[in-house]
Amino acid sequence: MAKTRKTRLLSIVILAAGQGKRMASSLPKVLQPLAGKPLLQHVLETARSLDPVALYVVYGHGGESVRAAFADQRVEWILQAEQKGTGHAVQQAMPTIPEDHQVLVLYGDVPLLRAETLRGLIALASEKQLALLTVKLADPAGYGRVVRDRRGQVKAIVEHKDATRAQLALNEGNTGVLVAPAARLRGWLSRLKTNNAQGEFYLTDVIAMAVKDRVAVVAIPADTESEVLGVNDRLQLSQLEAALRHARATELMRTGVTLADPARFDQRGELVAGRDVFIDVNVVFEGRVQLGDRVRIGPHCVLRDVSIGAGTEVKANSMLDGAEVGPDCAIGPFARLRPGTKLAAGAHVGNFVEVKNSSLGSGSKANHLTYLGDATVGANVNVGAGTITCNYDGVNKSRTVIEDGVFIGSGSMLVAPVTIAADATIGAGSTITDDAPAGKLTLARSRQVTIEGWKRPARKPR
């Protein structure tokens, strides 16, 4: 009977102490946004998906803003008061890591590493084997080089500034990501020296130590270069943004979504889409967005934390935030749905209409230049152009109720709290301050007056 391999407990150390001077920003590097989230947030989410026993973040002196940004997350914070290199950073976390753990080292400015890649790396590590993630580079300048012997076995990693001309010709770069047994790693870290071009304790030096101690080093390359790219300046940040955008667009199109232009698609959160969905150019998705079958999104829209039912069309330049939209609705162009908006099947919200904390029943329409705030609108209601629910008195917000079948004439002001009963008609230009009865026409207009002899003011001739 074959022996089953014992699963070792995992501790993850994320190095996030870099100052990021080349970012030219008052914001710490790991807090720079990528697809709407801090760089470090991407790394933390990937790390948590690996089910570690403990998660350590090594931060630098003055990095209290990093801790504050993640105050609600379960993280062991480790201060590296003096930045003496990557090896020194990992040393700071080791005192609290048990001897029988595997240690995975990640970086707070390398946000696109996939969990699948890391699981494969972890599976290769053992008490007698160190696993190292490398990358084949078109331009390896600046990267440490992976040096192999004639049999292809890893011998060492040489940093770019310390490499010979022959070593600089190598195109296999070190990503810095490794998995090692904690007991062994602790010993290797204690033996690190600073006799190198930068006068730092290099984590990469543990590779040569492992080889010397006859611990096998297994190196596997990442699938793509973009997966292991780090961020040192805003140009690199923009390159990662483009890489992530491309990856998400590719994944989405493989599920059956049509993108008018994948290069002009921006997903900054979780997007779930049904079949035959069409997304036009320059649409931004934030938070969690769910699109039903056959949904069409026009150009230049922003959708944040919304669900949209099958067959609905969102026309150009509309903004939807915190809304629930039913099937077969029509929205926009230039519409705004704010948090708390709920549209039932077949509802229409047209150009320059704003809806906030309100519900529209099935078949109801507000097609032009209207504000519906704190309103409950029934089914088959027609809201004329220029209608406003006056819901705020400067202190309190009150609700407007418009029951089924109501017709609201254009230019009407509905002063809440007020109820317009079923099948009522409100004459155009009315200001309604009292409840309107069902099935009747209600008007609230002052008498039209023409002032004889009145003249418009004129400028005096110069």
Inter-residue contact 181 to 10 (CB < 8 Å): no
Classify residue 190 as exposed, middle or buried by CB count within 10 Å of its CB (0-12, 13-18, 19+).
exposed
Compute CA distances 149 → 43, 214, 228, 362, whole Å: 33, 14, 24, 72
Inter-residue contact 66 to 43 (CB < 8 Å): no
* Cα(242)–Cα(351) distance, integer angstroms: 32
* H helix intervals, 152-275: 165-168, 182-190, 205-212, 234-254
Residue in 160, 246, 300, 368 annotated catalytic: 368
228 CB contacts (<8 Å, ≥6 apart)?
110, 112, 113, 133, 135, 175, 177, 222
DSSP strand pairing (375-377 vs 359-360): parallel
Helices 182-190 and 205-212: crossing angle, nearest 10°? 110
For the question of residue 61 being annotated catalytic, the response is no
Q: What are the residue numbers of the active site?
A: 368
